[in-house]
Structure 1
Amino acid sequence: MVHRIGWLRAAVLGANDGLVSTASLVIGVAAAGSARPEILIAGLAGLVAGAMSMAAGEYVSVSSQTDAERADIRRETMELKDAPEVELDELTRIYVERGLDEGLARQVATRLTQMDALAAHRRDELGISDTVTAHPIQAAIVSALTFAVGAVVPLIVAAVAPSGQITTIIAGTTLFALAVLGGLGASAGGAPVLTGAVRVTFWGALAMAATAAAGALFGVSLS
C-alpha cells in the first residue's frame, strides 16, 4: 500500500480537480444563459488550461520537495563523515524515544550504522523513504492525465444533455462521480470509504453552487 502513496495523491487530486473545476465552470457558463457551443468551448478551454496547470503545479511542488530532501541528505552525509559518534548517539536517542531501552537502542543503532549509516539516518531521522516519495515528472503526468479524465465527464454530459437540463444533469452526474472517486481514493489509501465520499462530494457541491450563483447573478450570455 505504501508504495502507491506518491502517485495516488497526485491522481486523486487531479481527477477531483478536473471534475469539480470543469463542472463548476460549465455550470456557471450555462447559468449565465449561454448556448451549448459556448458552454462546450468554455469547458474544453478549462480542461486544457487545468491539465497544464495541474502538471506544472505538481512538477514544481514535488521538485521543491525533492530538492529539500536532497539538501538534507547532503548535510547528513557530511555530518556522518565529520562526527560519526555524535550521529550514532543521535540515532540511539531516536530509538529510545520510540520505546527501546538504552542498551538495545544502542545495539540497533550500531548495527544499522554498520550496515548503512546514511540509509538509517535518512529513514529514521529525516523521515525520507523512496517508497512514499513521488517523482516530479511522474506526478506531473499523472495529475494532467487524471485532471483531463475527470474534466471529460461534465463535458460529455454537456454535449448530450437536453438544453434546458444541462445544469441539473451535470450537477447530479458530477456529484455521483465525486462520491465514487472519493470512495475509491479513501479505499486505496485505507481510510473509511463513506468519509472520503462525503468529504469530496460536499466540497464539489459547494463549488458548483457558488459558480451557478455567480452565473445566474451576472446573467450575461457569452453567445
Structure 2
Amino acid sequence: MSHFEQHRTQRIGWLRAAVLGANDGIVSTSSLILGVAAAGADPKSVLIAGVAGLVAGAMSMAAGEYVSVSSQADTEQADLAIESEELATAPGEEHAELAAIYVERGLDPSLAAKVATQLMEHDALGAHARDELGISEISTARPIQAAFSSAGAFSVGAGLPLLITLLFPASRLMWAVSGSSLLFLALLGALAAKAGGAPALVASMRVAFWGALAMALTAGVGALFGVGV
C-alpha cells in the first residue's frame, strides 16, 4: 500500500515568491496612491501613478527574483560540478565522507558504510548533493518560476488598491485605499500563515503593521511636499 504525504516545505519556493510579491504589490501601490493623493493631485494623475507603479513594481520584482535565484542556481551548479569531479577522481574519499555524515546522524559505522555504498551505486552525485551540499528537489533554485510568481503576485496585489481607486470618489479615496489595503494585507497574512502552518493572527498583525507604517509615511511625505502645489 503506497503512502503519500504532502509536506508544507514543498510549498516554500512558490509560497515565498507569491506572498512577497502580493505583499509588495499592495503596500507599494497603495502607498504610492496615498502619497500622490495627499500631495493634492487630481484623480487621473493618482490613477496614472498607480498604474505606473504596478508595471514598474512587477518588472522590478521579476528582475530581482530572477537575478537573485539565478545566482543561487549558479552556485548550486558550481558546487555540483566540483562534487562530480571529486567523485570521478577520488571515489573512495567521497564514500568515506558520505559515510561519516551518516555516522553523525546516528548510524553505526558499518551500517553507514553500507548505506553510503548503496546510495552511491544508485546515484552518487544525487546522494552527495542531498546529504553533503543540502541541495534537494524542494530547495533547487528555479529562476523563471520565481520571476513569474513574483511578478504575477505583485500585479494581483497592486491591482487591489487600483480597483479601489477606480470605485471611490476623490473625497473618500484616502480612507478607502488605506482601509481596504490593510484588510487585504491582513487577509494575505492569514492565507500565507494557513498555507505554511503558522498562526494566522500573528501573521496578519505583522503584515498589517508594516503596511500601515509604509502607507502613513508615504502619505506624510506627499502631504509635506504637496503644500502650496
TM-score range, shorter chain: over 0.9
1:166 is aligned to 2:178: no
Q: How many pairs are equivalent?
A: 222
Deviates more, 1:182-191 or 1:49-58: 182-191
**Cα distance change on mapping 1:149 and 1:31 into 2, 3 Å:** same
Runs of 5+ in structure 2 lacking a partner? 1-7
- The separation in 2 between residues aligned to 1:198 and 1:110, in whole angstroms, is 51
Q: Does 1:198 align with 2:205?
A: yes
Task: For residue 30 of structure 1, report the CA deviation from its aligned partner.
Answer: 0.9
Paired amino acid for 1:113: M
- State the alpha-carbon separation in 2 of the partners of residues 75 and 37 from structure 1: 57
1:4 is matched with which residue: 11, 22, 30? 11
Contact in 1 for aligned 2:29/2:53 (Cα 8 Å): yes
CA distance in 2, matches of 1:76, 1:134: 18
CA distance 1:29–1:86, change in 2 (3 Å): same
Q: 1:188 is matched by which residue type in structure 2? A: A
Q: Distance in 2 between the 1:192 and 1:127 partners?
A: 28
Structural mapping, 1:108-123, within 5 Å? 108-123=115-130
Q: Does 1:133 align with 2:143?
A: no
Q: Does 1:43 align with 2:50?
A: yes
* Equivalent-residue separation in structure 1 for 2:193 and 2:100 (angstroms): 35
Structure 2 distance, partners of 1:136, 1:66, is 8
CA RMSD of aligned residues (A): 1.5
Separation in structure 2 between the aligned mates of residue 172 and residue 98 of structure 1, nearest angstrom: 51
Relative distance call for 1:133 and 1:6 in structure 2 (3 A) is farther
Identify the match of residue 97 of structure 1 among 104, 108, 121: 104
The 2-side partners of 1:100 and 1:179 are apart by 46
Q: How far apart, CA to CA, are the structure 1 residues paired with 2:150 and 2:228?
A: 32
Structure 1 gap ranges (5+): none
Letter of the structure 1 residue corresponding to residue 69 of structure 2: V
| CA deviation profile, 1:163-219 (whole Å, cap 9, x unmatched) | 222111111101111111111112212222222212211111111111011111112
Determine if contact 1:91/1:125 at 8 Å carries over to the other structure: yes
Please name the residue that 1:154 is paired with.
161
Q: Which residue of 1 aligns with 2:219?
A: 212
TM-score normalised per structure 2: 0.92
- Larger deviation: 2-11 or 46-55? 2-11
Q: Does the C-alpha gap of structure 1 residues 106 and 86 become closer, same or farther in structure 2, counting only changes over 3 Å? A: same
Contact 1:7 1:134 in 2 (8 A): no
Query: 1:182 corresponds to which letter in structure 2?
Result: G
| Deviation for aligned residue 1:61 | 1.0
Structure 1 ranges of 4+ moved more than 6 A: none
| 1-10 vs 200-209, which moves further | 1-10
Q: Percent identity?
A: 62
Residue deviations 1:48-102 (CA, integer Å, cap 9, x gap): 1001111111111111111110110000000111111111111122122222232
Contact 1:40 1:155 in 2 (8 A): yes
